[in-house]
Structure 1
Amino acid sequence: MAKPQGAGSIWNPNSWHWEEKNYTTIAKQIIEQKIKSIKVESGGIILTNQEIKSISGDAHINIRKGKQVLVYDFDIEVEWRGQNENDEVEGTYKIKDFNSLDNDIELIHINSKSKTQISDKCKDLIKRDMNRKLKESFQTLIQEIGQFESDPEKLKKDQEARRYAEEQVKLAKEQNGELKERIFQEQKLKEIKMKQEHTQVAQ
């Protein structure tokens, strides 16, 4: 399967040279949306991810020879909420070492803020069902982040910007050449004039 096309910076002709672009902000936004969209329902309990308490790490897209490779590594803490008809409970869990090299997801420190009738059941659901749904959701993460870099409209604008930059460089070279030629001609005229003046003095 071919790697998605990437658009390097203007200084990087045809995206050929190695270049690293920071995609941390976009990656965090997508990860947060995915986590908060997941809901687990089992045995009358509804379990949801309420907020991202913290997310640390970074994501970069490396571009070389017009191709892109996404690399990311994050630690995430999530606030969850579980409820049924008679009870509710809140807590947190962490996703440790979530990275692009290891497709596995490790949920640790699964805690509840209080002890209720459903707190232990909710923690079991997080270990089993929430973990599974997170893995399923994150399977497309690389492609979704990569789409921002290989978006056709972005690539089109990049090509237009490159053409404009090339035209400006060409124009600058032409203007520089014209300037050099003008200076050369002016200097030549000065030399001719000096020779004429020298000849007149000698006569």
Structure 2
Amino acid sequence: MAKQQGAGSLWNPNSWHWEEKNYTPISKQLIESKIKSCKVESGDITLLNQEVKSITGDAQINIRKGKQVLIYDFDIEVEWHGVNKDHEAEGTYKIKDLNSLDNDFELIHISCNTKTAISDKCKDLIKKDMFKKLKEAFTTLMQEIGQYESDPEKLKKDQEARRIAEEQVRLAKEQNGELKEKIFYEQKLKEQQMKQEFSQFAQK
């Protein structure tokens, strides 16, 4: 994926310096949404990803010279549920090594809570059909995370926040300069007053 424009923090003018930004929470939200959207229908069986039990790992965007590089690596545990008109089955499986380098994750530990008439068929559907659905869903994950960081509206807000911060710094410097000038002026007045008092004392 081509490097996209990224906005650094307020301390990072023009996003020039190296900066790491935590994108784990938003990445987890996107991953969970994608997993829950995947559904398999085969014959009379409907297979759903009922719940995302856990997502472990992290995601970060590295910004340097106004460009961004996204890195993420996650392991996920999913609860699945299969049903036809007469039977149900449910269990869990794990998505191992979902990462930013490629889209070649694994589905492992596919299990069923109780054996039913459709449980084995559901497990086979997870290995093949659900895997394909997930692979397709995750194809755009990197792009979607990156787009959030390079979103024009977000960049505009970051630039405005940086402008305000720079203006505040400028005003603070001006006020600091005015304060120094005031202290210097007051000190000069004190010196003149002391000279006058000393002169009057010497004349007595």
TM-score by length of 2: 0.91
Counterpart Cα distance in 2 of 1:85 and 1:187: 93
Query: Is residue 17 of structure 1 aligned with residue 29 of structure 2?
Result: no
| Structure 1 counterpart of 2:184, one-letter code | F
Deviations 1:139-176 (A, max 9, x none): 11111122222222221111111111111111111111
- Say which is worse superposed, 65-74 or 26-35, in terms of deviation: 65-74
Aligned to 2:193: 193
SS in structure 1 at match of 2:148: helix
Aligned to 2:150: 150
SS in structure 1 at match of 2:79: strand
SS in structure 1 at match of 2:4: coil
Aligned to 1:74: 74
Native 8 Å contact 1:111 1:123 kept in 2: yes
- Say which is worse superposed, 158-167 or 5-14, in terms of deviation: 5-14
| Structure 1 counterpart of 2:128, one-letter code | R
Aligned to 1:128: 128
Native 8 Å contact 1:36 1:51 kept in 2: yes
| Structure 2 counterpart of 1:166, one-letter code | E
| Structure 2 counterpart of 1:165, one-letter code | A
Counterpart Cα distance in 1 of 2:3 and 2:190: 62
SS in structure 2 at match of 1:103: coil
Query: Is residue 50 of structure 1 aligned with residue 50 of structure 2?
Result: yes
| Structure 2 counterpart of 1:151, one-letter code | D
Counterpart Cα distance in 2 of 1:153 and 1:89: 45
| Structure 1 counterpart of 2:23, one-letter code | Y
Deviations 1:71-94 (A, max 9, x none): 222111111112223322111110
Q: Post-superposition, which runs of at least 4 consecutive aligned residues in structure 1 deviate over 3 A?
A: 196-203
SS in structure 2 at match of 1:168: helix
- Say which is worse superposed, 23-32 or 77-86, in terms of deviation: 77-86
Native 8 Å contact 1:7 1:15 kept in 2: yes
Structure 1 gaps, min length 5: none
Deviations 1:162-200 (A, max 9, x none): 111111111111111111111112222222333333334
Aligned to 1:103: 103
- Say which is worse superposed, 189-198 or 21-30, in terms of deviation: 189-198
Counterpart Cα distance in 1 of 2:54 and 2:175: 54
Aligned to 2:115: 115
Aligned residue pair count: 203
Deviations 1:115-134 (A, max 9, x none): 22322222111111111111
Aligned to 1:88: 88
Deviation at 1:2, TM superposition (A): 4.2
TM-score by length of 1: 0.92
| Aligned-CA RMSD value | 1.7
Aligned to 1:178: 178
| Structure 1 counterpart of 2:30, one-letter code | I
- Say which is worse superposed, 163-172 or 148-157, in terms of deviation: 148-157
